[in-house]
Structure 1
Amino acid sequence: MRPKQTEKALTDTDVRRDQTKVCGLQDIEFTDKPQVESQKSLGSYFSSFVVEEPRNLLVALSGLSILTAVFATVLPITIHFLNEYNVVQPPFAFMMVIVQTLLLPPLVCFSFATATIMFWYGSVTIRFVLAILTVLPGCFVFYQCAYLADIVHSGDGFLTGFGTCMFASLLVTAAIAVTVQLWGRWTLTHQPEQWVFPPTGIVSIVELTSVAAVGSAVFNAVDARPYYVGIMLFGGIALFAAPTVMASMISCLRSDGRVRVAAFVAFCSAFAVAFFLNGFFAAVEFGGVATFIDQPVLLASISLYGVALIWGVTWICQRCLQFCGWRCVKRLLKN
């Protein structure tokens, strides 16, 4: 007989524990919350990526898309006013301040939007489609503003060159982000309580190969040789901007505090973005390679301004993700 309790009555949990002793099931632990068994068979691959709380996902991507479009309108409008008033080319230092102010915000926001969805845990194919849909409005707004500002004209090949360069930037950012997400220990999630994610399997590899094949087919269909300079510029910026974005996410979008190593990596890669942009213009537009070699201190000093711009844009984009409940967490894979 169980002795009577004088202070309080038996709870439901105590009753269940007594029942386990009677039945000889001492090893089974009962809790108030039902236990959910993990699916050992994925079944349909895409069905394992059912999006819960889609509002957080769609609102965040819509916000990043709007930010990219807003930043993209600044460049053609500024060029239009400079052409209207016949402004002469300023000295190198002042010119690079203007170039960084006009180019870095839209390009960094473009890379942030792409890296966000590719650093997510969904299907690779779905990620690639969502990344294109997220950045496409910004590219469309930029082209329309440039057309209305009489900077470009129909039939001059600008649309093909611009699309090729931006697609190259998207592929570079996507390749880095999806590689880190699939084989790294960090990932983005839009769900506040999610910790377990689908594992990297053969289907993910097949999807990744298919996306790479599509990208290669696009470049083979378009004669990209006239746009090599633009591809190098936009692809190089994306090459350094993607680590900046992901390191800043790992550092700032965690619930257990910031990671100083990730913050340092974000700063170094942001400096590399600005230094590459300044060095590229120094080598191409201002006196050839001699300017790039003879003035490294000047380039480094101007690049610090670019770092401030990059961190400002990254901070705005991160606030958008935090507002929608996004987090950066360590991956725990399903069995």
Structure 2
Amino acid sequence: MTGEARSRGLRWLIGILLVGGALFSIAGVLIPLLAAPDEPSSTTSIPEADRAIDGLRERSVYVESGDRAEWQLDVSAARELIGDRPILVAGFAGKDTLQAEAPYFRDAIAEVQRRPGALGDLAEYDGPMEATCEAIAGEYPDTMVVVLHPRPGFETACAGPEFPAHGSEDEPVSWAEGVLASAGGAGAPRADRTDRLPLIDGLVPAYETGIERLDPPPGDRDLAGPFRTLRISAYVVGGVVAAAALFLLLRYGIIASGTSVRERRRDRRSARVSARADVHALADRVLALEREQAERLLSEEAAPDAAYVLRLAEGYLDLARRIETAETTGQYAEISRQARRLLEPDATPAG
């Protein structure tokens, strides 16, 4: 196989790989969009829950803060602690959220107050938290949800309807609330709960201990959505294809630009050499006519037309000056054209 054939084959191979990579990248982006399941509708009757549902689509922690928040949570650290466990934390630190006066919390508060042994003064906290927790779990049914109240130290937990159920659900405390209580959220003084990260730090081992009683245990949550591997592969391949295409464009663009520059320089050199040769030929013609004039005068023959000789001499002097200052191919070509016109045989009058 000749070098040219190998080079042509390599170009075809590179082209096929680039086109194939581009098609794979496009498919990797379109398939998840077309085949992904519908996202949660996020249209509950509780505005706080709707906002949390949107914020938890591909994240495990959502915190809606306010200017006068009484507690804080390092969201990045909390998400790292939770990892891909099916645990969702919805925190409301703004004083204008989970308000007992909101009409959509009235039924929930009344339900808490009707419970045997319920403390009426806590219903205004428990009712809004429980209603919001159940609304979020309804949209993410295979997760455990924790809701943090704007007031430090008040929180609740619930599990979605598709979360694995404990065999003894007749216990006074639900499985999710038991995990939350084990995390240390219910026993410490509420007034000292301005940092909620310790609660999440204790929630994770409590959750791991709690799921040992579940059969089957809950699965991990795919925080990146469906077709994660395909999407990541498409991004990687697309980046490689884009980089390769950019490299080739720059490479061949530079080569083409360099070739064009070389060709222009070669044409200019050729035009300059040709112009000089034509001007030198014109100079030789003027000198020859001057010699002929002297010889004809001595031999008493008719001398060349003086006006013609003068015109050639003036033309030569003009072109000789112009060729010294010429720079472009066009200028050299014009000098050659005028020199050749002066050298045309029919321009010479009969002697």
**Normalised by the shorter chain, which TM-score bucket?**
under 0.3
Q: Which has the higher helix share?
A: 1
Higher relative contact order (CA 8 A, sep 6+): 1
Report the structure number with the largest CA radius of gyration.
2
Q: TM-score, normalised by structure 2?
A: 0.23
